A and B are shown apart, each in its own frame.
Chain A
Amino acid sequence: MKRLAMTSFLFGGCLALLLALVPTAAAQDKPVEVSVTLEKQKFTPEEVKVKAGQPFLLVVTNKDAKPAEVESKDLRFEKVVAPGKTISIRVRALKPGTYVFLDDYNKSTRGKIVAE
């Protein structure tokens, strides 16, 4: 049963690591929130400004009748927001610059985060 022991060890290790990390993240100081609304397949505002070097929460409210998947390849997030729901996405501290996010289900719907 060496194999089973090894497998359980691998799994247990991964789980423990994640369970240890998540509360740590939750316990950090409450980050600044930046809100955008998705309505008629458009993000409003289309461009949000954040302070460079500070993590923040991107809060997205979906006012359309269908789900959207808010995604940014550069910022490494993808999260589904159901119709009428609001989600918040944790974003790391950014260097000054412009970062694009989009609705992966409808790629022409785009928004920008400007860190300065």
Chain B
Amino acid sequence: MGATFVIVLREGFEAALLLGIVYAYLAQIGHADSRRYVTLGATLAVAASVLMGLAVSLLSGPLADVGPDVIALVVIFAAVALLTWHGWWMGRHARELHGDLQRRVDAAHASHQLWMVGLIAFTGVFREGAETVLFLWGLTTQLQDLTGWAALGGAAAGLVAAAILGWLVFQGGRRLSVQRFFGVTSVLIMFLAAGLFSAGVGRLQGIGLLPGGDPLWDTSWLLDDHGGAGGFLAGLIGYRARPSALEVVAYLIYLAGASLVFFPRLFRRGSGNGRVETLILTK
């Protein structure tokens, strides 16, 4: 029971965290009415996950072999692009969003395609969605005895726990001041996207499309990335115990590029006012 709880909680947490952030974000910019984009994105992602699960179960042949790899890669890199765009938008507009709620609503309205936020929700849920659907389906085939029911119960509890965590992120996020919220989520999203980008590069190496792949170092003695805290950090910021050289480079390049894009005022010469550290630390 404990094992299935942890598996579903971990798969569900990343999606729930992202959903909590985007819902809180919409509340922060005064566009709670645009929640429907997020809800629609998440719902479509669940439907797509079920379809994908069915396809994997029913189809075979070359399409079924290559298809999941292509879809996984497209989703990973699309998520990186969307999160980067989102961070870029927050970096550019953080200052306009000082004022009262009406000013925020207007500023966001003038320059933001809110349906893109729905796409973020879609990629966040769909990324691990099909795997979770198949895992749950596998559990339902073992309901002959008490152990089977306990396993399914554990999985259901994991799903509920993930949802509660997402809800807490939402409640906490919308209560922060808008600057602090933008500061904290920008940092979080930057590391999340760096981890995704490096994971995408790693998968390309894994199938031999990019060269290399042997580990540059091994910190599994210190923190294993399979389970527990290491597994959690793997999902959140892309921690790897045995990263390849290219993955490390990809991670660092993304962080360097993204910090320019996410925190433009940190790097502007003579930036006396409105620096991001102040955004995060004061307030």
**Residues from chain A with Cβ under 8 Å of B209 in the complex:** 21, 24-25
Contact with A along B56-85 (1 / 0, CB 8 A): 111010101110111001100110010011
A76 contacts B203, C-beta separation under 8 Å: yes
Tell which of B111, B135, B242 touches A74, judged by Cβ atoms closer than 8 Å: B242
> Given A14-B78, A85-B57, A105 and B135 touching (CB < 8 A)?
yes
> By DSSP majority rule, is chain B's interface helix, strand, loop, or mixed?
helix
In the assembled complex, A75 has its CB within 8 A of some CB on chain B: yes
Contact residues of A between 34 and 62, Cβ < 8 Å to B:
55
A10 contacts B64, C-beta separation under 8 Å: no
B77 contacts A14, C-beta separation under 8 Å: yes
B208 contacts A90, C-beta separation under 8 Å: yes
A25 contacts B134, C-beta separation under 8 Å: no
A66 contacts B142, C-beta separation under 8 Å: yes
Distance between A56 CB and nearest chain B CB, rounded to angstroms: 10
> Given A22-B70, A86-B60, A93 and B131 touching (CB < 8 A)?
no
B81 contacts A10, C-beta separation under 8 Å: yes
Contact residues of A between 59 and 105, Cβ < 8 Å to B:
65-69, 73-80, 82-83, 85-88, 90-93, 95, 104-105
> Given A10-B85, A67-B57, A77 and B138 touching (CB < 8 A)?
no
Tell which of B68, B130, B207 touches A25, judged by Cβ atoms closer than 8 Å: B207
Closest to B70 in A: A22
Tell which of B85, B139, B213 touches A92, judged by Cβ atoms closer than 8 Å: B213
**Residues from chain A with Cβ under 8 Å of B215 in the complex:** 74
Closest to A31 in B: B208
In the assembled complex, A32 has its CB within 8 A of some CB on chain B: no
Contact with B along A1-25 (1 / 0, CB 8 A): 0011011001100110010011011
**Residues from chain B with Cβ under 8 Å of A4 in the complex:** 113
A residues engaging B (CB < 8 A)? 3-4, 6-7, 10-11, 14-15, 18, 21-22, 24-26, 28, 55, 65-69, 73-80, 82-83, 85-88, 90-93, 95, 104-105, 107
B residues engaging A (CB < 8 A)? 3, 7, 53, 56-58, 60, 62, 64-66, 68-70, 73-74, 77-78, 81, 84-85, 111, 113, 116, 130-131, 134-135, 137-139, 141-142, 202-209, 213-215, 225-227, 240-242
22 A–B contacts, CB within 8 A, in A order:
A7-B81, A11-B78, A14-B78, A22-B66, A65-B141, A66-B137, A67-B57, A67-B134, A68-B138, A73-B226, A73-B241, A74-B242, A76-B213, A77-B203, A77-B207, A80-B131, A80-B134, A82-B56, A92-B206, A92-B213, A93-B208, A107-B227
A69-B134, A75-B206 known, 11 other contacts, Cβ within 8 Å: A3-B113, A14-B74, A21-B209, A22-B66, A73-B225, A77-B203, A80-B130, A90-B69, A91-B207, A92-B206, A105-B7
